[in-house]
Amino acid sequence: MSAVTASHYTADYPAIAPSLPGQSLPWLQQLRTDALQAFSATGFPSPREEEWRYTNVSGIEKKLFSVPANQAASDVSADLLKAYQLQDAWSVVLVNGRFSAELSALSGLPDGVSILSLADALATQASQVQSHLGQAVNNAEHGFVAFNTAWFSDGLFVHVPPKQVLAKPIQLLHIVTQADALATTRNVIIVEESAEVKVVETFVGADNAYLTAAVTEVFVGQNADLTLYKIQSESEKAYHFGGIYIKQERDARFTHHNFAFGGLMARSDIHADLDHSSECVLNGLYLGVKRQHIDNHTRINHLKPYGISRETYKGVLDDKARGVFQGRVVVAEDAQKTDSQMNNRNLLLSVDAEVDTKPQLEIYADDVKCGHGVTVGQLDDKSVFYLQSRCIDEETARNMLTFAFANEMVDKISIKSLHDNVLEQVLARFPQQGVDKEWL
Amino acid sequence: MSTSEQEIKNLISQEYKQGFVTELETDTFPPGLDETVIHRLSKVKNEPDFMLEYRLKAFRHWQTMKSPEWAFVKFDPIDYQAISYYSAPKRKEDGPKSLDEIDPQVLDAYKKLGIPLDEQERLAGIAVDAVFDSVSVATTFKGKLKDAGVIFCPISEALREHPELIKEYLGSVVPHTDNYFAALNAAVFTDGSFVYIPKGVRCPMELSTYFRINAANTGQFERTLIIADEGSHVSYLEGCTAPMRDENQLHAAVVELIALKDATIKYSTVQNWYPGDKEGKGGIYNFVTKRADCRGDNSKVSWTQVETGSAITWKYPSCVLKGDNSVGEFYSVALTNNYQQADTGTKMIHIGKNTRSTIVSKGISAGKAQNTYRGLVKVLKSAENARNYTQCDSLLVGDKCGAHTFPYVEVKQPSAQVEHEATTSKISEDQLFFCQQRGLSAEDAVSMIVNGFCKEVFRELPMEFAVEAQALLGLSLEGSVG
């Protein structure tokens, strides 16, 4: 791997290190030092690594993205906020990788519930952070995780005590305003026993090239229920890496909805470890146009018996876009009675578009029910004909069917305002004459 | 199922029945590999000069390569200097003129295996080329095939008699630079079968090669080249066995198939190399490169394999679908028991328009075995209206084994339609109970269910092989459920 460019970033590190949160915490300093060492050794992942064979991030190395000096909230356009900030939610807004109290909305939190920036959490409840940070994922994963651990400048920290059911969702709004900015954020979400929470991660940015490198660690306690939405609507020129690493305890339920719309090159990692009778649902939709490269990488580890997992990823690729799906289900020796289904469906709309998909089953237990399915193709001719026979012209018919294909994933969103917001974004992808809002 | 426990134990401990050793005098090279060995090999085989150069080129390239490590199999590094690269039953200077001159012990060995080299006792209508360690010892039905214009002979003979065909086609599908084991094979291959079916000829009988490793400390490196000229048709069968030994032996073969316009090749394998004992000691490392090139329009290649033997099986019979409307098929049953490991599957590369491929893979894993399906379906931009259907089913027998599915799908053409489906499950208790309740023993029930599970593949095998495959499957598997 290009040790040259890794050193390019590492050389920059001493200058920014003092500005990173948690200076007074020796354990965190140690964690960062180790991570820096790991990153120096490996650099960013290369396509020679099996898990990255379809995604080449050398673009990140050619450019040097750097931590922006300006993190002012005034930089954020009102339009952007209006378009993406949910009104009926507690929101934590990060501008260029730093918390903005001004833009965030955190009033009226129930007692015992912590929703704050990670930097603040490191100041006020360091021990809670210490016992979780780096527990769901470590540097060995790949270069981006090590990079994030060394560089993170802020993030979201959520702690929900046992049996607490949050009335409103929590939104993490990640905004990058500056060109060539590096926004490295680390989020920790702890949902204790039998609590119920919905979290929305939204990634947006001004029309610039920049790099987002976010890592989210999620801990779902016994019988707790967490629904996590990720709306990746980065700028068309941006690079995005977002890793979500989940530890589920017994009977815990975790549902993820992953919408990947933006970025020049975007990669998501979603890795869940399941305990006894845990349930894990991963849904995803990726829409690629122009020269976008969208990679979704999921791993579900069934470590104990009776786990259930359901995975559905859909992709629509147009122009010269390339979609990558890598899904892996591992059933450990002990994980008898596992029930796992994975599905990946792709629509290719243009001769220059490409899909690479790699669903994997790795099974070490015999009493299991596991399956996966993949399709790559185009719209069903019979369906198109059916619509045409009802006096709908072909183009409209195709648009309707493509939209319907994607909309199945949008309809799974249970937060009304978010649903409408995502629907808006999906509609913007389809020429208007085909998909009339009236029908919806 | 406890009542049948003893019976189960008996069945599990059933011996590998092809595990005998034939005692006979051999010409064997001392272990070791360098350029002088290759010179000597080429000389012993009386090869034309261009072959020696080809071998040396491959050998030099091989030395620059590293043993690949990406497969889902574990084995100790192989010491290539400890292997003997040539072993042949001793024979008279000018080779056997007829069956009478073949060492009767070799004939006996084949009789024991149920492979009749004696034409009078032949299986109806199958021509056999028998490869014993490093050399082909006999080819039957040569005359009848010659009448049809079909060339079916040991590849070492083809090197001498049909150099123009060899020059044109050898290494054109699997170049010597392809991979580590293909490079090694190109450098040291000793024998194998050569088939040429002329234009418009439908081969009058099934062709078959039977591979037998006998000598200890040798590797078997055979090379098979099948060329089906325009509009021709051939069905080819391959079988293999080896004696039981505690040390591992390497088998690194290369098979190249070339189908020209409108030609059809059907290639069936029943692989039953010695799988090692119950503790995973010994057995054959079966690292094979098999690839078919559907060069002409409307050509078709169909791979059918039943893999029950070998300590480690590592192979991906593939099809390069270059011609428009060409068809590739892959039907596979891979059974692993005890400590066997298999990483097998196929590659379908769609290049021509309207190319179609079908993949049906059935993996059965028992004991402490690991069974992996790894496959690639690649549709290039030129492959308009390409179509692929893949189905991979895995059956787990016992809670210590593993079954893995690693498909790769790469599509660059929007009019292509690619489907992949995989399931993993165990033999259903309900089905077992149903059968037993109707008076079948647990063994018969398992055998019946497994055979049903594999039926789609067995259906593709030629008659004689299908019977053998079913029996093999029963032998290797029955009793591992309890």
Could you please report the per-residue DSSP string of A346-412?
A: EEE-STT-EEEEEEEEEE--SS-EEEEEEEEE---HHHHHHHHTTT--HHHHHHHHHHHHHHHHHTT
Residue A285 contacts by C-beta under 8 Å, 6 or more apart in sequence?
A: A258, A259, A260, A313, A314, A315, A406, A409, A410, A426
CB B212 within 8 A of CB B133: yes
**Chain centre distance of CA B397:** 24
What average pLDDT does this structure show over A373-399? Answer: 90
CB-nearest partner of B414 from A350, A361, A370: A350
β pairing state of B417-426 and A369-377: antiparallel
Enter the tokens of residue A116: 């704050």
Partners of residue A349 in chain B, C-beta under 8 Å: 414
What's the CA gap between B403 and B366, in Å, rounded?
9
What's the CA gap between A124 and B263, in Å, rounded?
76
B397/chain A closest Cα distance in angstroms: 7
In the stretch 55-114 of chain B, residues with CB closer than 8 A to chain A read 70
For A15-42, how does the pLDDT look when each residue is reduced to its tens digit (9 = 90+)? Answer: 888 888 888 899 999 999 999 989 888 8
Among candidate residues B208, B212, B203, B189, the one with its CA nearest the CA of residue B232:
B203
Other C-beta atoms lying within 10 Å of the C-beta of residue B416 = 24
pLDDT tens over chain B, length 482 residues: 333 445 444 444 456 666 666 666 677 788 888 888 888 888 888 888 888 999 999 999 998 988 888 878 888 888 888 888 887 766 544 444 455 556 666 666 666 666 655 544 444 456 667 776 666 666 667 777 888 888 888 888 888 889 899 989 988 999 988 889 999 999 888 888 899 999 999 988 888 887 777 666 777 888 999 999 999 999 988 877 666 667 778 888 899 999 999 999 999 888 888 888 777 788 888 899 999 999 999 999 999 988 888 888 888 999 999 999 999 999 998 888 888 889 999 999 999 999 999 999 999 888 888 999 999 999 999 999 999 999 999 988 888 888 999 999 999 998 999 999 888 888 888 888 899 999 988 878 887 888 888 888 887 777 666 777 777 666 666 555 54
Q: Do A360 and B414 touch (CB under 8 A)?
A: no
What's the CA gap between B75 and B72, in Å, rounded?
10
Model-level pTM greater than 0.90? no
Q: Do B406 and A369 touch (CB under 8 A)?
A: no
Other C-beta atoms lying within 10 Å of the C-beta of residue A104 = 22
For A352-364, how does the pLDDT look when each residue is reduced to its tens digit (9 = 90+)? Answer: 999 999 999 999 9
Burial category of B124 from C-beta neighbours within 10 Å (exposed 0-12, middle 13-18, buried 19 and up): exposed
- Closest residue of B to A337, CA-based? B425
Partners of residue B394 in chain A, C-beta under 8 Å: 361, 363
Partners of residue A355 in chain B, C-beta under 8 Å: 409-411
Q: Which residue has the tokens 């359901």?
A: A310
A427/chain B closest Cα distance in angstroms: 22
Q: Do A374 and B425 touch (CB under 8 A)?
A: no
B377/chain A closest Cα distance in angstroms: 10
A109 inside 8 A of chain B by CB: no
- Closest residue of A to B365, CA-based? A366
**Helix crossing, B180-188 with B35-44: angle to 10°?**
50
Give the amino acid at B399.
D
Helix-strand-coil percent breakdown of chain B, rounded to 5?
25, 35, 40
Q: Do A365 and B399 touch (CB under 8 A)?
A: yes
Other C-beta atoms lying within 10 Å of the C-beta of residue A70 = 12
Enter the tokens of residue A376: 């790559």
A320 inside 8 A of chain B by CB: no
B428 inside 8 A of chain A by CB: no
Q: Do B407 and A355 touch (CB under 8 A)?
A: no
Q: Do B411 and A354 touch (CB under 8 A)?
A: yes
pLDDT: which is higher, B4 or A51: A51
Partners of residue B410 in chain A, C-beta under 8 Å: 354-357
B426/chain A closest Cα distance in angstroms: 6
CB-nearest partner of A366 from B396, B410, B418: B396
For A324-335, how does the pLDDT look when each residue is reduced to its tens digit (9 = 90+)? Answer: 999 999 999 889
CB-nearest partner of A363 from B404, B408, B409: B404
B397 inside 8 A of chain A by CB: yes
Could you give the angle at the alpha carbon of A314 between the alpha carbons of A322 and A226, nearest 5°? Answer: 120
pLDDT, residue B482, reads 42
Length of chain B: 482
A334 inside 8 A of chain B by CB: no
Q: Which residues pair with A187 in a beta bridge?
A: A216
Among candidate residues A186, A176, A243, the one with its CA nearest the CA of residue A211:
A176
Q: Do A366 and B408 touch (CB under 8 A)?
A: no
φ, ψ for residue A164 (rounded to 5)? -80, 125
Residue A269 contacts by C-beta under 8 Å, 6 or more apart in sequence?
A: A141, A241, A242, A243, A244, A245, A297, A298, A299
Q: Do B402 and A356 touch (CB under 8 A)?
A: no
Q: Which residues pair with A312 in a beta bridge?
A: A283, A343
Three-state SS at B215: coil
Three-state SS at A241: strand
A49 inside 8 A of chain B by CB: no
Partners of residue A367 in chain B, C-beta under 8 Å: 399, 426
* Domain limits, chain B: 2-477
- DSSP 8-state secondary structure symbol assigned to residue B218: B
